[in-house]
Amino acid sequence: MILADAGRYIEAEHACEAWAQLGFTTVWERWEYGIITAQTLDALGRPREALAVLEDALGHRDPYLLSVGEKLAALVELSEKLGQPVDPKWQSLAEAVAEAYGIEMPARDSLEQRMLALGEMTREMLPKRARDSDNRPDRDGP
Q: What CATH number should be reported for the domain holding residue 15?
A: 1.25.40.10
- More confident call, 105 vs 68: 105
Closest residue by Cα to residue 31 from 12, 1, 63, 54: 54
Domain range holding 86? 2-128
| pLDDT score, position 141 | 41
CB neighbour list of residue 100: distance below 8 Å, 6 or more residues apart: 63, 64, 65, 127, 128, 129
Report pLDDT for 11: 97
What is d(CA 112, CA 108) in angstroms, rounded to the nearest whole number?
Answer: 9
Could you report the per-residue pLDDT of 29-88, keeping only the tens digit for each? 999 999 999 999 999 999 999 999 999 999 887 666 667 878 898 999 999 999 999 999
Which pLDDT tens digit goes with each residue over 14-31?
999 999 999 999 888 999
Q: Who wins on pLDDT, 77 or 135?
A: 77
Number of separate domains in the chain: 1
With contact defined as beta carbons under 8 Å apart, do 97 and 122 qualify?
yes
Q: How is residue 105 annotated by DSSP?
A: P
pTM of model > 0.85: no
Question: Is the pLDDT score of 137 beyond 50?
Answer: no
Q: How far apart are CA 45 and CA 110, in angstroms?
A: 27
Residue 133: inside a domain, yes or no? no
Residue 137 included in any domain: no
